[in-house]
Chains A and B, each alone.
Chain A
Amino acid sequence: MSQISNEQVKHVANLARLAITEEEAEKFTKQLDAIITFAEQLNELDTSNVEPTYHVLDMKNVLREDIPQKGLPLEEVLKNAPEHQDGQIRVPSILGE
């Protein structure tokens, strides 16, 4: 039984904001199916009473004083922006889509 369908791969690609062609969808479905099938071996383990480890070190809520600091200069921040105008980053129109 396959673990992931062509439709699911297209759905996931959309969630991940990746444009994919039919050809790519087919290729990725095969490859992801193999990887997920491989990952299914984790089900051999009974983990019903096992706490998940999200972080290896025992640290919680690392706090610091809230001291205002100068931000990065606008000119620097915009230096790597593909398109900008009047000190703002430019993108295609969002309204009216």
Chain B
Amino acid sequence: MSLFDYKVSDLHELLHKKELTVSDLVDESYQRIGQVEDKVQAFLTLDEERARQTAKTLDEKINTDSQRGLLFGMPIGVKDNIVTKGLRTTCASKILENFDPIYDATVVQKLQQAETVTIGKLNMDEFAMGSSNENSSFQKTRNPWNLERVPGGSSGGSAASVAAGEVLFSLGTDTGGSIRQPASFCGVVGMKPTYGRVSRFGLVAFASSLDQIGPITRTVEDNAYLLQAISGLDPMDSTSANVDVPNFAGSLTGDVKGLKIAVPKEYLGEGVSETVRQSVLEALKVLEGLGAVWEEVSLPHSKYALAAYYLLSSSEASANLARFDGVRYGYRTKDAESLIDLYKKSRAEGFGDEVKRRIMLGTFALSSGYYDAYYKKAQQVRTLIKKDFEDVLAKYDVIVGPTTPTPAFKIGENIEDPLTMYANDILTIPLNLAGLPGISVPCGFDGGLPLGLQIIGKYFDEATVYRTAHAFEQATDFHKQKPGL
């Protein structure tokens, strides 16, 4: 049994009863990493020396001042597009291979205030562009349930490290499904909060109007605690929302009597595998058994979300990634004849193919003569998608469906064909376009590979999403299964 089979609240109690030290927890992390990391390959950088030092300091602290916060001493992994002062942050890109951040992201500062211990930085698709971690410039993270399968992406390292028991929990980021899809593939819990709930200061931007940071955990309860710690208005991010942060864990009552669930027919239709469909119908039966009611609804513009998303996210990316020019930081080409040449070669040598493809797609969609036809059109379609959700959520408490159309696919299976790879995200992308919160919780297996149930809520109503996810989790055993690494 691993220490990370305990929930945060149990570990907290053990620490306070002096039956456990922070050093024990940090040992557990690095020992497990020593055992399985050569198979899983979730980490890009480990911060062992500093983590052990922090653990010592925290152990002294609890001896002198016994009451600490709930997340005190908990070992965490951080996705490598979130900047950490003095700890290499690469976005899994050659262009940032040696980047040494000079400040901490707001979420990292909040983790420090909560006194967690950062174990290391986690692999991802380069600049969060991808659904399999195969676009990392450095390594391919494996799915702990089956090492020939992808862990999902882009937060593949974040999900795989939690599933493999290398850390208690982790932070990921989600632009079109990048927390929920890998959480689903790896059999863990992943939450994309409402846009604006969590500060993006210090998150290396991919698509600024879609990106959100969120927690990946073993249980819904731990997820609620971690989101609590990182949420809130931040003067350094003017898109962070000035709304109250409720006590998320307080909403985990187990009571979903009378909860009104909408099930979009588009989420169980074409392209969704039969096993996935069945697992969602079974999950609905479980929720029904707990007193919830569900009805089929329609989100008629769902099928347009993928196209709108790729135009918009790539447009925003083309602007955001203009900063990587080989001048102020990052990779610089060795043989530049002029400044323009330096830009072009540094970027050509530093970025991988998927990143180049998206920068070019975005540049095209924003270029003179095409702006209205592609970029503006996609923003108008975004309005229609958002309205679909608003109409349904005016009548229902949550929307439920699968997180992904299939379980984890094989490494190498989709990498040659960008469109097939993109289709993986058809069920997660729409809510990024709308800015809504959504979670993936384990809801079954297909051939030994985990499946995820996606629960989508109203704006800033993560509490109801958590309540639903928790009630389902408590009524099922899927989250108790562990990969046989």
Q: Which residues of A are in contact with B by a Cβ distance under 8 Å?
A: 4, 8-9, 12-20, 28, 31-32, 34-36, 38-39, 41-45, 47, 50-57, 59, 62, 64, 72, 76-77, 79-83, 89, 91-94, 97
Chain B residues within 8 Å of chain A by Cβ, number: 67
A-B interface pairs (CB < 8 A), number? 166
Which residue of B is nearest A14, CB measured?
Answer: B344
Q: Contact at B344–A19, with CB atoms within 8 Å? A: yes
- Residues of chain B within 8 A (CB-CB) of A42 are 304, 307-308, 311, 377-378, 381
Q: Which residues of A contact B148 (CB under 8 A)?
A: none
Could you show 18 A-B contacts with beta carbons less than 8 Å apart? A16-B318, A17-B344, A19-B341, A32-B364, A41-B307, A45-B381, A55-B209, A56-B209, A56-B434, A57-B239, A72-B102, A80-B99, A82-B329, A82-B332, A92-B338, A93-B339, A94-B339, A97-B340
Q: Tell me the smallest distance from the CB of B277 to a CB of chain A, in Å.
A: 24
| B182 within 8 A of partner (CB) | no
Contacts of B347 in A (CB 8 A): 16-19
Contacts of A62 in B (CB 8 A): 238-239
Given contacts A39-B374, A42-B307, A56-B386, is CB(A47)–CB(B360) below 8 Å?
no
B361 contact set on A, CB distance < 8 A: 32, 35-36
Asked if residues B339 and A81 are in contact (CB atoms below 8 Å), the reply is: no
Q: Which residues of A contact B328 (CB under 8 A)?
A: 80-81, 89
Residue contact A80 to B100, C-beta cutoff 8 Å: yes
Q: Interface centre among A15, A36, A56, by most B CB within 10 Å? A: A56
Q: Are B380 and A57 in contact (CB under 8 A)?
A: no
Known: A12-B364, A17-B340, A41-B307. A28 touches B379 (CB 8 A): no
Nearest to A63 among chain B residues (CB) is B238
SS class of chain B's interface: helix, strand, loop or mixed? helix
Asked if residues A82 and B344 are in contact (CB atoms below 8 Å), the reply is: no
Where the two chains meet, the residues of B that have a C-beta atom closer than 8 Å to any C-beta of A are 98-100, 102-103, 195-196, 209, 235, 238-239, 241, 301, 303-304, 306-308, 310-311, 318, 322, 325-332, 336-345, 347-348, 351, 356-357, 359-361, 363-364, 367, 374, 376-384, 386, 418-419, 433-435
Given contacts A57-B435, A72-B102, A18 and B336 within 8 Å (CB-CB) = no
- Indicate if the CB atoms of A64 and B235 lie closer than 8 Å: yes
Q: How far is the CA of A72 from the CA of B104 in the complex (A)?
A: 13
Q: Is the CB of B384 within 8 A of A50?
A: yes
**By the criterion CB–CB under 8 Å, are B209 and A80 in contact?**
no
How distant is the Cα of A18 from the Cα of B310 in the complex, in angstroms? 20
B340 contact set on A, CB distance < 8 A: 17, 97
Q: Which residues of A contact B386 (CB under 8 A)?
A: 53, 56
B359 is contacted by which of A8, A18, A36, A57 (Cβ under 8 Å)?
A18
Of B364, B374, B383, the contact of A8 (CB 8 Å cutoff)? B364
Residues B332 and A83 in contact, CB atoms below 8 Å apart: yes
Q: Determine whether the beta carbon of B307 is less than 8 Å from that of A91.
A: no
Q: A18-B348, A38-B307, A92-B339 are in contact. Are A47 and B380 (CB under 8 A)?
A: yes
Indicate if the CB atoms of B357 and A39 lie closer than 8 Å.
no
B327 touches A16 (CB 8 A): no
Look across to chain B and name the residue whose beta carbon is closest to the beta carbon of A90.
Answer: B327
Given contacts A18-B351, A59-B241, 5 further A-B contacts (CB under 8 A): A32-B361, A59-B196, A80-B100, A80-B329, A97-B338
